[in-house]
């Protein structure tokens, strides 16, 4: 390809609306064009990058025995109602774009395809003899993001590879899951990327074990906690750990301490010579379920710890056996609108707060779901509120509170915590960009959609299912976030739009022009993805563009062309050698055949 015909349109200035480096570089290099908020066109250079990633993904998916398909992007609401996800994905904070067609039928724009593929599987798979089977597709998906940003990182249209597997047994599912885990590692390595696999929450997709693949980068939106020995990695939503030991509180006889104007745990501590780990933090919240139930919650955690909303949601869903649409704090305004006294002892709440406060609620449930985090449950003696304004109780224990509520893990793990696998190991916090996610779905969707097969005993049974995603367009940008320098992008050669750029320094010099063309033609003939910069621009402009768009190797044909000498420049380390044209080509063939 000739640069003169590539429609290269690079920008010198940093675009104002691009916050992170990879987004800036993709815009400056002309790889993407913004069409609307969170909606981008992939221009020719970017399309080549996406194609290279796609090929690597296809090769590994095919090798893992997955069959490529292409599923619809418009999903009938009926299927999502069968799985119970329509409302959650379209109402309130739901991220599924949806519309009515000319017949008034509701359709969603697919953000994920569990419903569609499960409905097809229930139609075409009838016997255990047809199992296992896995389907995948590479396709544009849609999310009506609350806050689209960072270019392709959090866009409203994005390219995904998603795969779905169907099995007779949980054992088969786990085998496939492990196989996909390995395939994923080969894919990311094949793309020239450094990734970390972390334990993850299954979120709205649902199901059992799941794992995310992260590209480490300071601009990443995800918090990752890893052990010092690298044996444990999880994202913040999922991470488990042992919090630091609480300071002991010696004393048995409970008494009231006056805590007037001490609004926070910090204030209670500093005024009373206490440590936050000696105090119970009690929070009153509401959980709104998909079925419309509004459940008051009374949550207790150790004073130096924070509640993890994902873990909390999972715990409540387990208790209520209903999906949670949203969580919010109980406020005075909320109490008033329920016709309740707004005179709750906020700031002095305790786990034994009476259900009587809810007795006149209009639409809320009339008793609290009480949950206590392990960190608080383990305390022998503690300070807690008294359910009266400006008063706390010292030297309390769970017996005095009327017993321990339901014990759960709803705590945010954090850097400095001890690891479960080895308490001598501490957790470290890193930032990451999620580019892949694999899930053991179990029977969640097959049960909901009544997708069954006849097993060896002749009995109808729901499929065991797994699902496996890779964000293709996000991966492309994350690669830039991981591989760039002050001059621009430094593409890993495996996914670079071109492997080599031949720059003719002065296009009016016939020696340079001839030698440049010759090298270009020969590289093309040998199957090297080569770009020829044949523009009538100054050499400096061409070098800057070549650096910005990140082509791994640059062959400069300049003043020494007459004596068949060229300059070979490595984009990553900027090493430069003066070589004969043949030696330069040989060096390129060696490097490129090693890499691909």
Binding site residues, a copy of itself, CB under 8 A: 5-7, 9, 30, 33, 35-37, 39-44, 47-48, 50, 65, 67-76, 79, 97-99, 101-103, 105, 107, 109, 116, 119-120, 123-125, 130, 133, 135, 139-140, 142, 144, 146, 156-157, 159
| CA distance readout (Å), 503 to 71, 442, 523 | 43, 55, 13
* Residue 71 C-beta: closest distance to a copy of itself, Å: 5
| Residue with Cβ nearer a copy of itself (514 or 535) | 535
| Residue with Cβ nearer a copy of itself (33 or 391) | 33
CA angle (16, 17, 19) in 5-degree steps: 100
Query: Biggest alpha carbon distance in the chain?
Result: 98
* Residue 251 C-beta: closest distance to a copy of itself, Å: 54
Q: Could you give the CA distance from residue 383 to residue 272 in angstroms, rounded to a whole number?
A: 10
* Cβ atoms of residues 545 and 535 within 8 Å: no
* Residue 371 C-beta: closest distance to a copy of itself, Å: 32
| Residue with Cβ nearer a copy of itself (230 or 527) | 527
| Residue with Cβ nearer a copy of itself (60 or 199) | 60
| Closest-CA residue to 468 (of 196, 177, 209) | 177
* Residue 286 C-beta: closest distance to a copy of itself, Å: 23
Q: Could you give the CA distance from residue 200 to residue 214 in angstroms, rounded to a whole number?
A: 11
| Residue with Cβ nearer a copy of itself (16 or 146) | 146
CA 97 to chain centre: 20
* Cβ atoms of residues 145 and 155 within 8 Å: yes
Q: Could you give the CA distance from residue 69 to residue 425 in angstroms, rounded to a whole number?
A: 45
* Residue 47 C-beta: closest distance to a copy of itself, Å: 5
Structure-token match 């389907």, residue found = 135
* Residue 539 C-beta: closest distance to a copy of itself, Å: 19
| Residue with Cβ nearer a copy of itself (30 or 296) | 30
* Residue 391 C-beta: closest distance to a copy of itself, Å: 45
Helix (H, G, I), strand (E, B) or coil at 59: helix
Contacts of residue 163, Cβ cutoff 8 Å, sequence gap at least 6: 61, 66, 134, 135, 136, 137, 180, 467, 468, 469
Contacts of residue 337, Cβ cutoff 8 Å, sequence gap at least 6: none
Structure tokens at 511: 């020696």
* Cβ atoms of residues 316 and 387 within 8 Å: no
* Residue 149 C-beta: closest distance to a copy of itself, Å: 14
Start-to-end CA distance of the chain, whole Å, equals 20
Q: Could you give the CA distance from residue 134 to residue 117 in angstroms, rounded to a whole number?
A: 10
Counted residue by residue, the chain has a size of: 596
| Residue with Cβ nearer a copy of itself (156 or 542) | 156
| Residue with Cβ nearer a copy of itself (259 or 473) | 473
565-570: strand order across its sheet? 530-533, 500-504, 553-557, 565-570, 576-580
* Residue 419 C-beta: closest distance to a copy of itself, Å: 40
Write out the H or E segment, with its range, that includes residue 165. Answer: strand 157-167
Q: Could you give the CA distance from residue 538 to residue 446 in angstroms, rounded to a whole number?
A: 63
* Residue 347 C-beta: closest distance to a copy of itself, Å: 35
| Residue with Cβ nearer a copy of itself (144 or 409) | 144
Q: Could you give the CA distance from residue 433 to residue 5 in angstroms, rounded to a whole number?
A: 34
What backbone torsions phi and psi does residue 509 show, to the nearest 5 degrees? Answer: -90, 115
* Residue 93 C-beta: closest distance to a copy of itself, Å: 9
| Residue with Cβ nearer a copy of itself (106 or 564) | 106
| Residue with Cβ nearer a copy of itself (387 or 530) | 530
Structure tokens at 530: 């080569």
* Residue 4 C-beta: closest distance to a copy of itself, Å: 9
| Residue with Cβ nearer a copy of itself (64 or 438) | 64
Q: Could you give the CA distance from residue 264 to residue 249 in angstroms, rounded to a whole number?
A: 19
């Amino acid at each position: 390809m000739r640069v003169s015909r590539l429609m290269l349109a690079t920008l010198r200035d940093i675009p104002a609306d691009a916050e992170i480096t990879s987004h800036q570089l993709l815009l400056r290099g002309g790889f993407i064009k913004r069409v609307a908020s969170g909606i981008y066109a992939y221009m020719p250079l970017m399309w080549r990058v996406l194609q290279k990633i796609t090929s690597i993904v296809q090769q590994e998916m095919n090798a893992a025995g997955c069959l490529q398909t292409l599923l619809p992007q418009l999903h009938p609401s009926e299927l999502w109602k069968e799985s119970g996800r329509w409302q959650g994905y379209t109402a309130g904070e739901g991220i599924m774009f949806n519309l009515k067609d000319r017949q008034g039928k509701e359709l969603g724009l697919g953000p994920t395809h569990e419903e569609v593929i499960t409905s097809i599987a229930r139609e075409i798979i009838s016997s255990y003899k047809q199992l296992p089977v896995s389907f995948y597709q590479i396709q544009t998906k849609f999310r009506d993001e609350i806050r689209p940003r960072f270019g392709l990182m959090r866009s409203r249209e994005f390219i995904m590879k998603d795969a779905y597997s169907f099995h007779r047994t949980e054992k088969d599912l786990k085998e496939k899951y492990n196989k996909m885990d390995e395939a994923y590692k080969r894919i990311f390595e094949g793309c020239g990327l450094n990734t970390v696999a972390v334990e993850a929450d299954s979120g709205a997709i649902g199901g059992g074990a799941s794992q995310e693949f992260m590209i480490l980068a300071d601009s990443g939106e995800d918090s990752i906690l890893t052990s010092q020995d690298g044996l444990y990695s999880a994202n913040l939503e999922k991470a488990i750990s042992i919090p630091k030991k609480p300071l002991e509180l010696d004393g048995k006889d409970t008494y009231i301490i006056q805590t007037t104007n001490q609004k926070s745990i910090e204030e209670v501590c500093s005024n009373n010579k206490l440590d936050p780990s000696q105090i119970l933090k009690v929070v009153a919240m509401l959980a709104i379920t998909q079925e419309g139930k509004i459940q008051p919650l009374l949550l207790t955690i150790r004073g130096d710890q924070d509640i993890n909303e994902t873990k909390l949601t999972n715990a409540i869903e387990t208790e209520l056996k209903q999906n949670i649409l949203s969580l919010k704090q109980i406020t005075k305004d909320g109490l008033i609108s329920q016709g309740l006294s707004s005179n709750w002892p906020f700031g002095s709440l305790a786990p034994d707060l009476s259900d009587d406060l809810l007795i006149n609620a209009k639409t809320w449930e009339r008793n609290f779901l009480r949950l206590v985090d392990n960190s608080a449950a383990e305390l022998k003696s503690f300070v807690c509120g008294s359910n009266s304004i400006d008063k706390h109780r010292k030297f309390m224990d769970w017996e005095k509170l009327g017993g321990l509520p339901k014990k759960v893990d709803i705590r945010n793990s954090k850097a400095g915590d001890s690891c479960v696998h080895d308490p001598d190991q501490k957790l470290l916090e890193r930032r990451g960009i999620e580019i892949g996610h694999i899930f053991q779905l179990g029977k969640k969707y097959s049960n909901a959609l009544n997708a069954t097969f006849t097993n060896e005993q002749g009995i109808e049974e729901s499929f065991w299912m797994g699902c496996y995603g890779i964000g293709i367009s996000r991966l492309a940008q994350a690669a830039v976030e991981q591989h760039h320098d002050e001059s621009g992008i430094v593409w890993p050669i495996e996914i670079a739009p071109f492997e080599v750029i031949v720059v003719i320094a002065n296009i009016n010099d016939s020696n340079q022009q001839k030698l440049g063309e010759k090298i270009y033609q020969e590289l093309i003939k040998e199957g090297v993805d080569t770009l020829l910069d044949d523009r009538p621009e100054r050499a400096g402009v061409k070098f800057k563009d070549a650096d910005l768009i990140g082509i791994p190797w640059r062959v400069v044909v300049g003043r020494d062309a007459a004596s068949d000498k060229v300059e070979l420049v490595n984009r990553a380390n900027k090493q430069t050698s003066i070589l004969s044209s043949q030696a330069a080509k040989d060096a390129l063939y060696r490097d490129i055949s090693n890499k691909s």
